[in-house]
Amino acid sequence: MSQYVLVLNSGSSSIKFQVIDPSADPSHPPMAAGLVERIGEPKGLIKIKTENQTLEDSRPISSHSVGLERAFALMTGLGLGPLDLDLAAVGHRVVHGGKEFTGPVRITKDVVKQLEDLVPLAPLHNPANIDGIRECMDLLGHLPHVAVFDTSFFSDMPDAAANYAINRELVKEYDIRRYGFHGTSHEFVSKKVPGLLGKDPKDVKQITLHLGNGASATAIDGGVAQDTSMGLTPLAGLVMGTRSGDIDPGILFHLVRSGGLKVDDLDELLNRKSGLKGVCGANDFREILEKIEQGDEDAKLAYGIYIHTLRRFIGSYMLNLGGLDAITFTAGVGENAAAVRRDALAGLENFGIEIDDARNTDPDAEGPREISTDNSSVKVFVVPTNEELAIAQYAFNIAQEAQES
Ligand code: ADP
């Protein structure tokens, strides 16, 4: 069995993929990374990046399968095609695994059917994930394909955290539950923490903060998720780039009754026109920090709500965990925005949390690292996430088990 895994993340109009050695160091760039964009639009784009070259193809792409076929042909031209590499497996990111999928699975026809049954829970994401799986399985049918779910890590959450206080009959009929998302990232990052602390994983209480365009917080005790900020959908919880995070549901009734908004308007409003963008017009954190420097009041307010919400979750998780060993920041904002890390944890010395300014702002720092002071009894870390590597590792292990049995 070869050592390489193809990892695929298929969206509604784009496909991201990487060819990865699952045993490589997380900081090691993938062997190849590709992007198929603007599927179904007049101008498509396929971009492939390897260690020493970048290739582009900007012809229109009529479908996911056309995009994948062309991307694989470009890779073959580089000697990195799926057949050249004799891949071990293909790992697929799947957003929603419902209650059924509590861990990664080898994809069979039955699994695809089960994924189709979950579409009502994730109408924006799962259909595109399923298309990517189908088309990739058509092209690479000889390989084991493995689905890795954003929700699985939260399947053992305590009932009190996983349930909403609404009518039980409706809950059962519509499978309503706090499923949580970004699970692959929270798990990947949280697994590094016991090693950094020099503790047994079962003794570690921790909070992981995945702060990217989407953002979520998770409380973890002994490796098991205890609570998480996203819910039935990835709209809940923290303030995000364009998503509102938690709001009073009564706001929606008010907008329907007084503003005449329809379901699709509300969906668009809360998923794409809210969050940081809704408050200050920008969703890229670098732009927001620049606007604040220039004295922009809306950007200051957006940042203020973002930090306030983050602290609200950190505080409640600390209390519910009944103690805390570590807080870890990850993803684009978490890994790069020292100001966010400082402000999220400012003034918490009485709770044993103290950021070391020099460690937090060290421009040369990279990889997993501590940013708290030596006195801080709760350790604060930055751990770069690598969801694709985690998916490659799961897919490789499942393919290997299948080969051995
Ligand atoms: P996604 O959820 O799309 O995977 P990422 O994890 O890549 O998102 O995070 C994207 C976010 O990270 C953007 O808001 C971007 O502005 C922010 N970001 C990236 N680099 C920096 C930086 N140096 N300083 C502040 N924010 C940054």
Is residue 129 a known part of a binding site?
no
Is residue 271 a known part of a binding site?
no
For residues 242 and 275, is the Cβ–Cβ distance under 8 A?
yes
Q: How far is the CA of 214 from the centre of ligand 1 (A)?
A: 10
Written in H, E and C, the secondary structure of 234-249 is: CCCCCCCCCCCCCCCC
pLDDT tens for each residue of 349-388? 999 999 999 999 999 999 999 999 999 999 999 999 999 9
Is residue 335 a known part of a binding site?
yes
Could you tell me the sign of the dihedral formed by the alpha carbons of 210, 216, 219, 222, in that order? negative
For residues 341 and 334, is the Cβ–Cβ distance under 8 A?
yes
Q: How far is the CA of 241 from the centre of ligand 1 (A)?
A: 9
Q: Is the CB of 214 under 6 A from ligand 1?
A: yes
Task: Name the residue of 150, 185, 286, 307 to mutate for ligand 1: max ligand atoms within 8 A of Cβ.
Answer: 286
Give me the DSSP letters along 12-53. SS-EEEEEE-TTS-TTSPPSEEEEEE-TTSSS-EEEEEESS-
pLDDT tens for each residue of 184-229? 999 999 999 999 999 999 999 999 999 999 999 999 999 999 999 9
pTM of the model: 0.94
CA dihedral 391, 392, 397, 403 (to 10 degrees): 120
Take atom 23 of ligand 1 and give the residue whose Cα is closest: 336
pLDDT tens for each residue of 265-310? 999 999 999 999 999 999 999 999 999 999 999 999 999 999 999 9
Q: Rounded to whole angstroms, how far apart are CA atoms 10 and 141?
A: 17
- Residues paired with residue 219 on neighbouring β-strands, in sequence order: 207, 227
Which parts of 60-175 fold into alpha helices (H)? 64-77, 82-85, 109-117, 126-139, 159-162, 168-174
Atom of ligand 1 nearest to the CA of 283: 14
Summarize the chain as % helix, strand, coil (round to 5).
Answer: 45, 20, 40
Q: Give pLDDT, residue 398.
A: 95
Q: Give pLDDT, residue 278.
A: 98
Task: Name the residue of 336, 340, 364, 387 to mutate for ligand 1: max ligand atoms within 8 A of Cβ.
Answer: 336
Atom of ligand 1 nearest to the CA of 210: 6
- Residues paired with residue 55 on neighbouring β-strands, in sequence order: 48
Q: Rounded to whole angstroms, how far apart are CA atoms 15 and 353?
A: 41
The 10 Å Cβ neighbour count of residue 165 is: 7
Q: How far is the CA of 289 from the centre of ligand 1 (A)?
A: 12
Q: Are strands 145-149 and 89-94 parallel, antiparallel or unpaired?
A: parallel
- List phi, psi (to 5°) of 197: -85, -15
Looking at the predicted structure, is the pLDDT value of residue 13 above 90?
no
What's the number of CA atoms in the CB half-sphere (13 Å) around residue 190? 28
Give whichever of 39-53, 79-93, 174-188 has the largest mean pLDDT. 174-188
Give whichever of 3-7, 85-89, 227-231 has the largest mean pLDDT. 227-231
Q: How far is the CA of 332 from the centre of ligand 1 (A)?
A: 3
Q: Is the CB of 286 under 6 A from ligand 1?
A: yes
Q: Is the CB of 287 under 6 A from ligand 1?
A: no
Looking at the predicted structure, is the pLDDT value of residue 261 above 90?
yes
Is residue 340 a known part of a binding site?
no
Is residue 214 a known part of a binding site?
yes
Q: How far is the CA of 142 from the centre of ligand 1 (A)?
A: 37
Q: Rounded to whole angstroms, how far apart are CA atoms 358 and 361?
A: 5
- Tokens matching residue 4: 């390489």
Looking at the predicted structure, is the pLDDT value of residue 327 above 90?
yes
Looking at the predicted structure, is the pLDDT value of residue 329 above 70?
yes
Average pLDDT, the chain: 95
CA dihedral 241, 245, 248, 252 (to 10 degrees): 60
Atom of ligand 1 nearest to the CA of 285: 16
Written in H, E and C, the secondary structure of 202-268 is: HHCEEEEEEECCCEEEEEEECCEEEEECCCCCCCCCCCCCCCCCCCCCHHHHHHHHHHCCCHHHHHH
- From residue 184, alpha-carbon distances to 60, 76, 152, 177 in Å are 33, 30, 8, 19
Looking at the predicted structure, is the pLDDT value of residue 1 above 80?
no
Q: Rounded to whole angstroms, how far apart are CA atoms 349 and 329?
A: 18
Q: Are strands 215-221 and 205-211 parallel, antiparallel or unpaired?
A: antiparallel
Q: Rounded to whole angstroms, how far apart are CA atoms 69 and 74?
A: 9
Percent of the chain having pLDDT more than 90?
86
Is residue 285 a known part of a binding site?
yes
Looking at the predicted structure, is the pLDDT value of residue 94 above 80?
yes
For residues 327 and 204, is the Cβ–Cβ distance under 8 A?
no
Q: Is the CB of 234 under 6 A from ligand 1?
A: no
Please give the order of strands across the beta sheet that includes 89-94.
54-57, 45-50, 32-37, 15-20, 5-10, 89-94, 145-149, 105-106
Q: How far is the CA of 253 from the centre of ligand 1 (A)?
A: 33
Percent of the chain having pLDDT more than 70?
100
Looking at the predicted structure, is the pLDDT value of residue 3 above 90?
no
Q: Is the CB of 242 under 6 A from ligand 1?
A: no
Residues classed as catalytic: 150
